Amino acid sequence: MNNWNRTQRTIFFLTCVYIVGILGICAEVSRDQILLFTPINLLFTTGMYLWSNEGLEKQLFKASAIVGLIGYFIEVAGVKTGVLFGSYYYGATLGPQILEVPPTMGVNWILLSLSSFGIFFNWDINKYLKMALAAGLMVGLDYFIEPVAMGLDFWQWEGDVVPFKNYVMWFFSAYIIQFILYKMLPSINQKTSLFVFSLQFVFFLILNFFI
């Protein structure tokens, strides 16, 4: 392992963590205990992903700070008004809340925005199409997250129904963030981006069958 680069170490450690997480959450006897680590896992995953982008620390720090703040305050506006996404509120699983929104949601926006950005960054197509594909990928993942999120008390929707405008607003918000990332980042680790985003997809896809 001493000869592994940052990408290889990130893939190894996150694979181990998510296997434990999937098994622990799927087993009702350990679910509540494993869910206590949800905020820590999100921070760890994001930290490992950012760390894997060797040589881009300064640019990623700035981009992450901006994306995290945008994502967090979009969620605050969404919860407070019910206009953007629909009427919803956050549960206890994602950790402590400020203005009725867990700060970890800002971290979640960082992770999903950067990893989806990294998947399409090197594609030889129009950049606006790349931004749309990345935003669409985030919306697609959200579709699989929603049932699990409600089942594990990440957040709850009024009437237990996810409004269509939630997905519309996700795409619009994600597209704006992708535009900002293309302005700020000269490159990104595509391999780790694909792995991390795929890991999220597999994680929530599996949990959809057990929650």
Rounded to whole angstroms, the Cα distance separating 200 from 160 reads: 23
Q: Across residues 31-53, what is the average pLDDT?
A: 97
φ and ψ of 85, to 5 deg: -105, -20
Report domain extents, the chain: 6-208
The SS3 call for residue 102 is coil
Look at 2-6, 35-39, 114-118 and tell me which has the smallest mean pLDDT: 2-6
Rounded to whole angstroms, the Cα distance separating 141 from 138 reads: 5
Query: Across the chain, what does the average pLDDT equal?
Result: 96
pLDDT at 74 over 90: yes
Q: What is the pLDDT of residue 57?
A: 82
Rounded to whole angstroms, the Cα distance separating 17 from 198 reads: 14
Q: What is the pLDDT of residue 56?
A: 83
φ and ψ of 188, to 5 deg: -165, 160
pLDDT at 1 over 80: no
Q: What is the pLDDT of residue 211?
A: 83
Q: What is the pLDDT of residue 55?
A: 85
Q: Residue 17: count other Cβ atoms within 10 Å of its Cβ.
A: 17
- And the tokens for 139? 């919306």
Q: What is the pLDDT of residue 3?
A: 74
pLDDT tens sequence across 118-174: 999 999 999 999 999 999 999 999 999 999 999 999 999 999 999 999 999 999 999
The SS3 call for residue 82 is coil
